[in-house]
Amino acid sequence: MTTLLPLLLVLAPCETPTKLPPVIADDAKLYIIYESKGTFFEGPTWDPASEKLFFTAFKGKSTQILRLDDLNKVTVWLDNTQGVNGTYLSASGRLLGAQAYGHRLVSYGIGPDGPKDTRILLEDASLNQPNDVCEAPDGTIYFTDPDFKERRTSAVYKLKDGKKEKIIEDMPLPNGLKTSPDGKVLYVSDSHERHWKAYPIKPDGTVGTGRVFFDPDTKDRREPDGLAVDEKGNLYFTGRGGVWVVSPEGKPLGLIPIKEFASNVCFGGSFGNMLFITCQDRVYSLKLTVRGATAVRQR
């Protein structure tokens, strides 16, 4: 059985002055909660009803959704997912998934041994490969569709009442995305430009002109990926050396350095203040002093 040891938080060298963000709890340690060599982990989502962490796993041609049952112990909750990458817990308590290879957005009822039922929210063969998905407070679903090969047809879409609409076309490789807690801003990471942008959300769910929201001066150029938001509106951006914590005004509050490539983050745990970080080969947890914006939302 693997012994799980806390890791020291050591700052990585970079030009932008960095410190550990003040939201880290005094007694916190960065723990490895699951590891599997040669596996790329993504799409973490905490389900408060079952009090379980779900995340996606890519290894060779295998694509799965895993459920963490204990330290270093998982259940394959769904096998052969057709490339589900990003996931999100909807207001109805269902698990949304961006299905890259199936060119779909899907919704799963969360059952004890796997999905209770699967609903296809959108299927469109013209899409590149849906990558990440989120839901705004008003129920509008947003998802990214990056064109990794040519970087010519990448886009961000909204899905409302079964109708999709392209709302962003000015990003070479949109990747992770989330809305602000009040649903007024859409944050999107760009894996090609290697920065994060913010777009004002209009009343109809479309967006206005975007602006570069965060672009730290770092030697580490690992591309931005997924993100999370806490109850105060602070952003948690994976990429460029680990997990950056950034205020709603775009001010860096600190860096949680991660030696592996960090792909995504989410909040969860019994009190909603545990940060889960998916990476290449590993999944980490870290106790914070704030809760996630949606981590403790009940069904």
Q: What pLDDT, on the 0 to 100 scale, is given for residue 294?
A: 77
pLDDT in tens, 264-286: 999 999 999 999 999 999 999 99
Contacts of 70 (CB under 8 A, 6+ apart): none
Inter-CA distances, 181 with 79, 232, 294, 295, Å: 32, 8, 8, 12
What CATH number labels 6-287? 2.120.10.30
Quick check: helix, strand or coil at residue 256? strand
Q: Which two tokens stand for residue 175?
A: 């990747």
Q: Which residues pair with 211 in a beta bridge?
A: 198
Residue ranges, the chain, pLDDT below 50: 1-15, 295-299
Q: Exposure of 136 by Cβ count < 10 A (0-12 exposed, 13-18 middle, 19+ buried)? A: buried
DSSP per residue, 107-143: EEEE-SSSEEEEEEEEE-TTSS----EEE-TTS-EEE
Domain-wise residue ranges, the chain: 6-287
Q: What pLDDT, on the 0 to 100 scale, is given for residue 6?
A: 44
Q: Which residues pair with 275 in a beta bridge?
A: 267, 286
Q: What pLDDT, on the 0 to 100 scale, is given for residue 33?
A: 98
Cα angle vertex 235, ends 207, 294, to 5°? 85
Q: What pLDDT, on the 0 to 100 scale, is given for residue 16?
A: 54
pLDDT in tens, 105-133: 999 999 999 999 999 999 999 999 999 99
